[in-house]
Amino acid sequence: MLGVVRPFLRRLGEVHGERRSLGRPIVAGMFLVLLASAWTTEVIGIHALFGAFLAGAIMPPNMSFRRLLIGKLEDVSVVLLLPLFFVFTGLRTRFGLLTDGHLWLTCTAVIGVAVLGKFGGTLIAARFTGSSWRDSLSLGALMNTRGLMELVVLNIGYDLGVLNAEMFAMMVLMALFTTFMTGPSLSLIDRLFRKPESAIEANSASPGWRVLLSFGQPESGRRALRLVRQLMGENPAAAAVTALHVTPSNDVNPIDSSGFEREGFKPVMKEAQRLELAVRTEHHVSGDVAADILRTANAGGFDLLLVGAGKPLLKGTFLGDLLGFTTRVIDPSKLIGSLTGKESLIPTDDQLDPKVRQIIEEAQCSVGVFMDKGFAQADRILLPPWRARRSFLLHYAERLLAGRRPTAAAARSGWPHAARSIVSQWRAASASGGRRSHRSSA
């Protein structure tokens, strides 16, 4: 592998590394190298896992080639092979053997020692090297996650006879328990060390009106930036804009993270240059997009969060309603919210994505939802039926009117002055409570 196959693969990477895709013969050849290496190590008495690892280790150093190969192999491994492995492990695990009390006591001791060893060991080491309590606890919770590799090792031990059926079941329970506790542990740590709202400090380097623009699709982010520019009114220099793009961690390989960031911000930065607007960019790769957006918005002292939204994929269909109901029953937080009256157990006819609803409810600043339908400029603004508690909308209407770039004909007709006059009349009518003035101004 090191003396014969590796030089050949290096030459292969140099030839095909600059192409945009790999042909099927190349992918088939990579599979053959992988399977042959695993089979050979199995034949000579070493587990096939080490042969597969060696095949990955000798792959060409060309990052472009590796990126293309990972894209091809990852779909097969994650979508097909990984679920099969979990099914295989589940079929081998016999929890029914744990019938005696002393076996469950032993299982509890195994879990306790496992948590103490990884969580406690990482916590002590992190604190010894100068990390904060929050970072040390978070590292301990993440290191305590066993996940896939633990199950691989357990299956090897079971095949070799190192573990009997009872101990194998205990160890699988330990792996599942320590993996499932990671999410709640991180949430608890975050809640314990979260700064109170009064302690959240805004970035002193960006005074004035601060806007966080969160977008998913680059083209939609480009059009949302036009809306942000118009909301700035006549004095854009007094505002600070941060463009946030959060990529779901399941959709991107760490090797491709920089490429996703570069391609995601290219249309937005091009539009910012056209609008003569200074924009600061942030790119995150996260497993929980909504939580990441909320964390950034609440910790940054922003005045407005403008978030892009789309219609839920299955909204309005029987399958979508069924899945929504099932999720609320299974998810403890949603079920508690339904029982306490905060949420409806039956899905409502809401066109907003659930993640957007979560952002609206938990954000500590004003929130705008941008549903892109080819936005260019806000020429005509419609405010909802008037109520006194909605008078804050006039502030944004005023900004939109002031930030509009009128055509030459509109400027000659005095449109900007007339628009501001309407807003002024409406504001005066709101203060006096005159319903008739509301209608005439509108």
For residue 280, what is the domain's CATH number? 3.40.50.620
362 and 216 both lie in a single domain: yes
Residue 343 lies in a domain: no
Residue 146 lies in a domain: yes
Residue 119 has a pLDDT of 94
Residue 164 lies in a domain: yes
46 and 164 both lie in a single domain: no
255 and 366 both lie in a single domain: yes
Sign of CA dihedral 283, 289, 291, 293: positive
**In the predicted model, what is the mean pLDDT of residues 98-115?**
92
Domain that holds residue 272: 206-311+351-370
**Beta partners for 286?**
248
**In the predicted model, what is the mean pLDDT of residues 136-151?**
89
pLDDT in tens, 14-31: 887 777 777 788 888 888
> At which of 92, 124, 151 does a domain end?
92
Q: How many CB atoms lie within 10 A of CB 15?
A: 12
**In the predicted model, what is the mean pLDDT of residues 182-208?**
65
8 Å CB contact between 189 and 141: yes
What's phi and psi for 311, nearest 5 deg?
-75, 135
183 and 217 both lie in a single domain: no
Residue 342 lies in a domain: no
Query: What's the structural domain count of the chain?
Result: 4
220 and 361 both lie in a single domain: yes
164 and 215 both lie in a single domain: no
Asked whether residue 426 carries a pLDDT value surpassing 60, the answer given is no
pLDDT in tens, 269-306: 898 888 888 888 888 877 788 888 988 888 888 988 99
> At which of 195, 228, 244 does a domain end?
195
pTM score, whole prediction: 0.57
Angle at 75 between CA 74 and CA 80, to 5 degrees: 105
Here the contacts of 265-269 (C-beta below 8 Å, separation 24 or greater) are 265/218, 266/218, 267/218, 267/219, 267/221, 267/222, 268/215, 268/218, 268/221, 268/222, 268/225, 268/243
Q: How far is CA 93 from the centre of its chain?
A: 33
307 and 189 both lie in a single domain: no
> At which of 74, 92, 110 does a domain end?
92
107 and 189 both lie in a single domain: yes
Polymer length of the chain: 442
| Unique residue bearing structure tokens 């609206």 | 360
Residue 35 lies in a domain: yes
Closest CA relative to residue 51, chosen from 34, 66, 67, 63? 34
Q: How many CB atoms lie within 10 A of CB 220?
A: 19
What's phi and psi for 405, nearest 5 deg?
-100, 95
165 and 273 both lie in a single domain: no
120 and 177 both lie in a single domain: yes
357 and 223 both lie in a single domain: yes
DSSP secondary structure letter of residue 215? E
Closest CA relative to residue 179, chosen from 135, 134, 206, 144? 144
Tokens representing 181 are 């506790």
DSSP secondary structure letter of residue 239? E
Residue 73 lies in a domain: yes
362 and 270 both lie in a single domain: yes
Residue 317 lies in a domain: no
Residue 240 lies in a domain: yes
